[in-house]
Structure 1
Amino acid sequence: MLIQFKRGDHIVNKELSLEQREELLGILKDRFEKNMSRHEGLEWSKVQAKLEVNIEKLWSLSEMERTGGEPDVVGLDKDTDESTFYDCSMESPKGRRSVCYDREALESRKEHKPENSAIEMAADMGIELLTEDQYRELQKLGNFDTKTSSWVKTPDNIRKLGGAIFCDRRYDTVFMYHNGAESYYAARGFRGALRV
């Protein structure tokens, strides 16, 4: 089944050609093997087998890759047998920066609106923003966002008051901060999670 959505003035098909699938699987396998400390005890062949029968999730991973996220496996849920991918690029993904937090924030801006919001982009890609806890888990695997920052899933009570939260790593410490949800910066994007 072909799934489509609109990106700007273009219709995007949520489907990869055989060649695109093979290329992406090669990239993911190479990254998996080069970063075994992120997923000790897991086997790529089992991850790949699940991806090959779940083409929509593979498409989401291609979007994570296309926007600079460098997705990699960071864990396995033993209860559901699902692998979890996070964006593991050293800095916040380049193709997802200069976005405010969500559609409501985007519409609240009177001028100088960004092109998109983190929540909408993530939904279009079929992924979820990392929570603060997931972001801190990621930071145990390396030093991420030392020059950039990333929006994270904001609790409803903060969002209802107009705020949103983001995280980064400075001085060898992971920080969580707040901003107006309508704000956006060239050095702030968002990181996503995908379960397969």
Structure 2
Amino acid sequence: MSEEKANSKKELSQEQQVELLSLLKDRFESNQHRHKDIEWKNVQKKLEANPEKLWSLHEMERTGGEPDIVAYDAKSDEYIFYDCSKESPKGRRSVCYDRKALDSRKKHKPENSAIDMATDMGIELLSEEEYRLLQRQENIDMKTSSWILTPSKIRDLGGALFCDRRYDTVFVYHNGAESYYGARGFRGSLRV
């Protein structure tokens, strides 16, 4: 595949850009508690200057993540988007943790892995700290769970971590990295 063809795949049409920016602006304005002291016009300027990031946000939206800004990093001058959907994004469920886990399954393989999907989308899985930050802003994953970035020490032993909220408490659990469930997906982050 030529480089030009590969790049065109990760760009939105003008119409898609306008539609996505409008959707993101509406979500931004409806959820001010997530991003106090941030002005939309500055965010929009950054997004318009970074079409590949806009494409990643489109992928987050397309798969059910409902991305929104949760923080601003003044040091790097970046806005930080997380998937803010109430439950783990529908279009990213029934996936094991990573490629190694996917390749290790002999039967009943899932279609993809969380790490591979995130990489393809140009986003990162939330860390435990990021997941807890989001849970302080919203009650999420009340019926589902989400894979999170797993420390290499745990992953090297075959495990992976996931989180959810039950009994008004955020729990971090472990599972074999090759496992997958219809109610487990992953949440991502994107810096713009």
Q: State the Cα deviation string for residues 9-50 of structure 1 (Å, max 9, x = none).
A: xxx810100000000000000000000000001001000000
Contact 1:2 1:14 in 2 (8 A): no
Aligned equivalent of 1:163: 159
2:126 aligns with 130
- 1:4, distance to aligned residue in structure 2 (A): 2.3
Q: 1:145 aligns with which of 138, 141, 144?
A: 141
Kindly provide the amino acid, as one letter, of the partner of residue 166 in structure 1.
Answer: F
Specify the alignment match of 1:109 in structure 2.
105
Match status 1:89 vs 2:67: no
Which amino acid is the alignment partner of residue 34 of structure 1? S
Residue in structure 2 matched with residue 174 of structure 1 by the alignment? 170
* Partner amino acid, structure 2, of 1:64: M
2:39 alignment partner in structure 1: 43
CA drift at 1:2: 4.4
Paired with 1:43 and 1:99, the residues of 2 have a C-alpha distance of 36
Cα distance in 1, alignment partners of residues 175 and 62 from structure 2 = 27
User: Is it true that 1:4 corresponds to 2:14 in the alignment?
Assistant: no
Identity %: 71
SS in 2 for 1:84: strand
Q: Which letter maps to 1:147? A: K
TM-score by length of 2: 0.97
Q: State whether structure 2 residue 187 is matched by structure 1 residue 191.
A: yes
Query: Letter of the aligned partner of 1:163 in structure 2?
Result: G
Paired position in structure 2 for 1:24: 20
Unaligned runs of 5+ in 1: 6-11
Which residue number corresponds to residue 72 of structure 2? 76
> If each structure's helix is expressed as a fraction of its own residues, which one has the higher value?
2
Question: Pairwise CA RMSD of aligned residues?
Answer: 1.2
Per-residue CA deviation, residues 141-177 of structure 1 (Å, 9 max, x unaligned), is: 1100000000000000000000000000000000000
Q: Deviations over 1:107-130 (max 9, x none)?
A: 000100000000000000000000
Name the aligned partner's letter for residue 191 of structure 2: R
Between the aligned partners of 1:89 and 1:45, the Cα distance in structure 2 is: 23
Deviates more, 1:132-141 or 1:12-21: 12-21
SS of the aligned residue for 2:102 comes to helix
Per the alignment, in what secondary structure is the counterpart of residue 103 of structure 2?
A: helix
